[in-house]
Amino acid sequence: MSSAVEAVTPFHEPSRKRRLVKIGGWIAGLLALAVVLHLLGVDVLDWLDDVWKQIKDVPVGYLVLGGLLQVLQTSLNGLAYYGILAYAYPGRVQLWPIITAYAVGVAMNNFLPANIGTFVTLLMFVAIIPGSTFPGILAAYMVNKIFFTIVGGLVYLYLFLEAGSAFDVELGWFRDHGALALLLFLGGVFLVVVVVRIFWRWLKKLWAQAKEGGKILASPRAFVTRVLLPQLGSYAAKVGVIMVFLAAYSIPVTFDSVMSVIGSSSAANMTAVTPGSVGITQAANVVALNDYTNADTATAYSLSQQLVTTVVNLGYGLLLVVLIFGWTGGKLLVSQSYAEAKVKAREMKDSRRQGDDPTGDGEPAEDA
């Protein structure tokens, strides 16, 4: 890792004057948007006032319980990372530094674009695990994603089959056009096969470099006990956070409403252009909860949940950094990892654009 230390600054801009100019630009843009909406007949101030009243009226008990569940969600998935990495690098991995590195990434993803926080976590792993390599840590990341990818796919499948109205899907059309629906299904299967084939060829190339990081996959029992079980707990805590905040706003807590929020939030994250997908998440949640509550209540719910979880993530990450690494050491480790993460993110983005190896090691990928 480079010895250069780059401080984490707002807008990634070291000049205070230019930061102030950018902040002023954002404020001016927001004011201009408010004026345009007002001219179109939308009373922005009254709407914001209504939303704020609903947020501040949330009972403290809901906020505390939601915050505790958020901490549990982060900690348990950090524990899953520990299970993967301790199996890959026996005797070189300690529990709380791994959880801390993961918590830092979670916190940073709330206010940095393009999931830079994830790269920070991976590079912190490289820094704190002797003898580890980035390809090996990247393989561990892929192992960690297996469960969440499968669960996410099941959520989308459920929404498509049972809750299509939340996304304006008319299932009756498929029943009335069976042959065409079958053709679309087969086309989708073909597309999945092509994508899996490309991914598998890339994975085989990566595996030659990264098999150490994914070693736990060779032991199904170890994977279930050290990875899958903590992740099940983490996902249950995530669902619990949603249930708590839905209940806080008297929005019906049902399997369908919870799955609709999870699905819409996931879709918002995939299409996000703002840090933490702020705004996009709220719009998606309003659509998803259209059958359960009005737009103002849905917006207040979504904003309060995102605000509370963001504050909790930041506080938990900072607390762990200070307790585990100390203020000076933690600041140095995080800032170095952040600087390296931006470089690595650009490298991998360029590699995907040029068709090179996604690991960014300069080795050209096989033709798809």
User: For 262-288, what is the mean pLDDT?
Assistant: 69
Q: Give the list of residues 6+ apart from residue 231 with CB closer than 8 angstroms, or none.
A: 76, 77, 80, 144, 147, 148
Question: What does the pLDDT read at residue 21?
Answer: 65
Question: What does the pLDDT read at residue 346?
Answer: 67
- Most confident of the ranges 36-45, 92-101, 161-170: 92-101
Give yes or no for residue 355 having a pLDDT over 70: no
- The mean pLDDT value of the chain amounts to 74
Taking the CA atoms of the chain, what radius of gyration do you get in angstroms?
22
Mark whether 242 and 208 lie in a shared domain: yes
Cβ-in-10-Å burial (0-12, 13-18, 19+) of 74 comes to buried
Mark whether 37 and 67 lie in a shared domain: no
Q: For residues 181 and 344, which has the higher predicted lDDT (pLDDT)?
A: 344
Kindly state whether residue 367 falls inside one of the protein's structural domains. no
Q: How confident is the model at residue 287 (pLDDT cuts 50, 70, 90)?
A: confident
Give yes or no for residue 116 having a pLDDT over 70: yes
- 99-103, 161-165, 264-268, 361-365: segment of lowest average pLDDT: 361-365
Kindly state whether residue 361 falls inside one of the protein's structural domains. no
Contact 99/85 with Cβ under 8 angstroms? Answer: no
Kindly state whether residue 363 falls inside one of the protein's structural domains. no
d(CA 104, CA 110): 10
φ/ψ (deg, to 5) at 8 = -80, 110
Question: What does the pLDDT read at residue 327?
Answer: 79
Q: Give the tokens for residue 258.
A: 């919870």
Q: DSSP strand E in 220-304: where?
A: none
Give yes or no for residue 42 having a pLDDT over 60: no
Q: How confident is the model at residue 50 (pLDDT cuts 50, 70, 90)?
A: low
- Most confident of the ranges 11-20, 52-61, 101-110, 277-286: 101-110
Mark whether 56 and 35 lie in a shared domain: no
- 305-309, 340-344, 358-362: segment of lowest average pLDDT: 358-362
Kindly state whether residue 303 falls inside one of the protein's structural domains. yes
Q: How confident is the model at residue 45 (pLDDT cuts 50, 70, 90)?
A: low
Residue in 253, 252, 246, 280 with CA at minimum distance from that of residue 266: 280
Q: How far apart are the first and last CA of the chain?
A: 32
Residue in 237, 215, 219, 212 with CA at minimum distance from that of residue 78: 237
User: For 64-68, what is the mean pLDDT?
Assistant: 92
Mark whether 292 and 264 lie in a shared domain: yes
Kindly state whether residue 162 falls inside one of the protein's structural domains. yes
Residues 343-353 pLDDT 10s: 766 666 655 55
Question: What does the pLDDT read at residue 87?
Answer: 92
Mark whether 27 and 133 lie in a shared domain: no
Q: Give the list of residues 6+ apart from residue 7 with CB closer than 8 angstroms, or none.
A: 14, 335
Mark whether 241 and 295 lie in a shared domain: yes
Q: Could you give the percent of the chain with pLDDT greater than 70? A: 60
CA angle 331, 311, 264 (to 5 degrees): 120
Mark whether 268 and 341 lie in a shared domain: yes
Q: DSSP strand E in 160-271: where?
A: none
Kindly state whether residue 360 falls inside one of the protein's structural domains. no
Give yes or no for residue 282 having a pLDDT over 90: no
Backbone torsion region of residue 326, taken as left when φ is above 0, otherwise alpha when ψ lies between -120 and 50, otherwise beta: left
Question: What sign does the dihedral 132-317-266-352 (CA atoms) show?
Answer: negative
Q: Give the list of residues 6+ apart from residue 235 with CB closer than 8 angstroms, or none.
A: 73, 147, 148, 151
Owning domain of residue 21: 1-42
Mark whether 28 and 91 lie in a shared domain: no
Q: Give the tokens for residue 321.
A: 């950094």
| CA distances for 12 relative to 15, 18, 248, 335, angstroms | 9, 10, 36, 12
Mark whether 191 and 283 lie in a shared domain: yes
Mark whether 154 and 171 lie in a shared domain: yes
Kindly state whether residue 366 falls inside one of the protein's structural domains. no
Kindly state whether residue 107 falls inside one of the protein's structural domains. yes
Residue in 320, 367, 279 with CA at minimum distance from that of residue 124: 320
Residues 128-179 pLDDT 10s: 888 888 888 888 998 898 898 888 888 877 777 764 444 444 445 455 555 6
CA angle 310, 235, 78 (to 5 degrees): 70
Domains held by the chain: number: 2
Residues 204-238 pLDDT 10s: 655 555 567 778 888 889 999 999 999 999 999 99
Mark whether 58 and 112 lie in a shared domain: yes
Mark whether 5 and 92 lie in a shared domain: no
